Structure 1
Amino acid sequence: MTAVDLARVQFALTANVHFLFVVLTLGLTPIIAIMQTRYVLTGRAVHLTMTRYWGQLYVVNYGLGIVTGLVMEFQFGLAWTGVDRVAGQVFGAPLALETIVAFFAEATFLGIWIFGWGTLPKVVHLISFYLVTITAYASAVFVMVANGFLQHPVGYVLRDGTARITDLRALFTNPEAVGALRHLVPAALMLGGMVVAGISAWQLRRHPDDTDVFLRSLRMGVLVGVAGAFFTFAFGWAQLDYLRTDQPGKVDAIMPSKDAGPVTDRPPGWIALPFSIMQQFGEYSAYLGLFLLPFLIRRWIVRRRILLRVMTWWIPLPFVAVVCGWLVREVGRQPWAIYGVLRTADATSLSTGQVAVSLALFGVVVVGLAGTNWLVLLMLARRGPHRLALGRVLGDDEPAAATEPAVV
């Protein structure tokens, strides 16, 4: 393999692993925000338990996701110097904003939320998590703006081989960024909803004593997952309208059709397979969710153990789908690193040996982090709503908030 091939494998590995953390984070935050809102409005202990249980999973995933993001940035700066040389002033601007939002604002608000249990007033504590949710999605906006520039460069001028921003509005309203964001957000909600529903289904089979917590969680997960699946499917197909003009080779490869117009550079034809997997998963997820809706009435789903098994087995599938979507988007713009501006072969300057060493080192790190994350999440998920660490005040058996009077 050449240096370029190894660098592409390295980026695919680090970016894919980090992306899985990000999508789960984006999927869980709105669900947890709803759970805590219901607790603040009703004061019912069940909603507090749900918030703490799913909040634990979120905090672990967020923390390790930050580290995988650092690994991805290190390898990108090391292996893809050509992108920085040509478009660093444009591509780097939204990424700098994302870093400020993700590492400063979002982390600050999350710290307030983690350590504010039993100390802050309930409404203030809830607001802190709403700010976590807002900043998480703001980070996603900035990342997709940067990626959208790689897919369809706009709002810039090339002077002496260096791109400079000329139209900030065009950069942020790039259809490649806006369209992808509209597809990503419901996809994240679909994934988050299905993870919540799947874990809840497992708990309902194994621990019937916790029915109240997990039946409510299952209902919320299914509803969010179904809504996310339908919007993901709709906004995904909507992207073809501008892709036929911006990246006709990608459309030609994934359909595969021959009406995409004149195409000089085509991506590998195998991306039609992940596109098909992603598309079919979206359809089947929507159908499954619709089928489950009647069983959510009262406690009917609890007595349908085969359905609970199916929902648990379904957990890995949305992760497979989002990876397939990432492959279609990123591999689909090949052979360009910046579409129409910089070829992938010209974007890296490392030797084959150097890239091989960094691939081995970064690969071990990100795979280790991913494995650690899933093992810890599995342990916390299996433990159930008992012995929760999040929200526990030091020296107390239960968080102070649980003994406060209800807030209406």
Structure 2
Amino acid sequence: MTDETLARLQFATTAGFHWLFVMLTLGLAPLIAVMHTRHALRGTPLLERMTRFWGQIYVVNYVLGIVTGLVMEFQFGLAWSGLAEYAGNVFGAPLALETIVAFFAESTFLGMWIFGWGKLPKAVHVTLIWLVTLTAYASAYWIMVANGFLQHPVGHEVRGGVAYLTDFGAMLTNPNAINALVHAATAALMTGGVFVAGVSSYHFLKRTAEREFFRASLRLGLFVATPAAFVALYYGFVQIPTLVDTQPMKAATLRGHIDDLGSLRVEDVQAQLAQRFGAGDYRPPTWIATAFDVMQDVGYLIFLLIVVALVLLYRDWYLRFRPAAYLMLVAVPLPFVAALGGWLLREVGRQPWAVYGELTTAAARSPVGSMAASLVLFCGVFLALGVADVALIVRYARRGPAETDLGGSPGDGQAERPTASLAL
């Protein structure tokens, strides 16, 4: 492999892993906010226990997701300094805002929420988890604004080989950012809903004594996942006209997998791009069509499974039909598979461009030596973090609400545990 290929593989690995953490974080936050709000309004102990149990899993995933984000940004600066030199004046602003929102505001609100159990007024405590949710989605927006510029650069001019921002509003309303944000955000909500439903199904299969606890969790998870999956599928197709207009080569590569692409052909687009930008191969890898099929087909399968599960909630048929619980448990990793397919389609599909039509990947790479050692190091770190995340989540999910650490106090029969501790 060339050093450029290794650098691209390193970024694909780190960014792809980080995105999987973010999917679950974005998906769980609104559900936990709803649980906490209902508890504050009703004062029901069951809702408080639900908030603490699912909140504990959220915090574990959030903490490890922050670590992967920091590692990803470090390797980004290490391997892609050419991109920063060319477009840093433009997409540096949204990246800086994302950092302020995610690493300062969101983390601060979450810390106050974690340690605020039994110490803050109910209204303040509930407001904090909603602020965590809002800042999480605001962070996602700024990331998509920056990525949207890479996909379809708008609102700037190039002077002396460097891009300068001229129209911030155009950048903020870039269709490549807005439509993709809706698609990704609703896919994340679907992920959170399926995760909650899947873990609840696991406890039904174990014939747990917490039947009412997981029945309420299952219902909330499915009620959120069903409309979210529909909107995610819909906004996947909403992006196709923009894709044809802004990235015709990617669209042409998907010919035969997407309807209504007209006469768009790879050969014709290649000839047009070669005439416009000079000699070169402007075709992305053909396997992005497979990534598209995986994303789309798995998305359809998830939607079918959650709709069937939602129907089976009628008169508790779901609890009496064990195959439904098995299917929902098996479905837990499916949203992550679909998300990975979509990420590969979006990012690899724009090759050979780092900034579409303006800066190639080769020109964006840092002038460093072999990337082999760096690739092994970063992949090793991310593998360890991924294993730790899955192991901790599985551990807490299997333990159930009886041994929840988040928000613990002596009054809960947890006198030997530090208040609001997380046994990490």
Amino acid of the structure 1 residue aligned with 2:142:
F
Deviations 1:327-366 (A, max 9, x none): 000011111000011001111134452x111111111111
Please give the alpha-carbon distance, in whole angstroms, between the structure 2 residues aligned to 1:394 and 1:364: 40
The alignment status of 1:345 with 2:362, answered yes or no, reads yes
Please give the alpha-carbon distance, in whole angstroms, between the structure 2 residues aligned to 1:97 and 1:117: 29
Q: Assess, with a 3 A threshold, how the Cα gap between structure 1 residues 343 and 289 changes in structure 2: closer, same or farther.
A: same
Please give the alpha-carbon distance, in whole angstroms, between the structure 2 residues aligned to 1:255 and 1:290: 30
Q: 1:1-80 alignment to 2 at 5 Å? A: 1-80=1-80
Other-structure match for 1:270? 287
Deviations 1:85-131 (A, max 9, x none): 10011111100000000011000100110000000011110000000
Other-structure match for 1:145? 145
Q: CA deviation at 1:258?
A: 6.6
Tell me the secondary structure at the aligned position of residue 158 of structure 2. Answer: strand
Q: Which has the higher contact order (CA 8 A, sep 6+)?
A: 1
The alignment status of 1:259 with 2:276, answered yes or no, reads no
Q: CA deviation at 1:19?
A: 0.3
**5+ long unaligned stretches in structure 2:** 274-281, 416-424
Q: CA deviation at 1:398?
A: 6.0
Is 2:194–2:221's contact at 8 Å kept on the other side of the alignment? yes
Amino acid of the structure 2 residue aligned with 1:384:
G
The alignment status of 1:386 with 2:390, answered yes or no, reads no
Q: 1:234-313 alignment to 2 at 5 Å? A: 234-256=234-256, 259-260=263-264, 262-263=268-269, 264=273, 265-313=282-330
**5+ long unaligned stretches in structure 1:** 400-408
Please give the alpha-carbon distance, in whole angstroms, between the structure 1 residues aligned to 2:68 and 2:372: 19
Is 1:64–1:373's contact at 8 Å kept on the other side of the alignment? yes
Deviations 1:5-50 (A, max 9, x none): 0000000100011000111100000111111111111111111111
Is 2:78–2:366's contact at 8 Å kept on the other side of the alignment? no
Other-structure match for 2:135? 135
Q: 1:100-115 alignment to 2 at 5 Å? A: 100-115=100-115
Please give the alpha-carbon distance, in whole angstroms, between the structure 1 residues aligned to 2:41 and 2:108: 25
TM-score (norm 1): 0.95
Please give the alpha-carbon distance, in whole angstroms, between the structure 1 residues aligned to 2:403 and 2:201: 20
What is the RMSD computed on CA atoms of the aligned residues? 1.4
Q: CA deviation at 1:291?
A: 1.6
Q: Assess, with a 3 A threshold, how the Cα gap between structure 1 residues 142 and 70 changes in structure 2: closer, same or farther.
A: same
Identity rate, percent: 52
Q: Assess, with a 3 A threshold, how the Cα gap between structure 1 residues 290 and 277 changes in structure 2: closer, same or farther.
A: same
Other-structure match for 1:404? none
Please give the alpha-carbon distance, in whole angstroms, between the structure 1 residues aligned to 2:300 and 2:74: 37
Is 1:156–1:163's contact at 8 Å kept on the other side of the alignment? yes
TM-score (norm 2): 0.91
Q: CA deviation at 1:394?
A: 5.8
Deviations 1:300-341 (A, max 9, x none): 211111110010011111110000000000011111000011
Among 357, 382, 404, the residue aligned to 1:366: 382
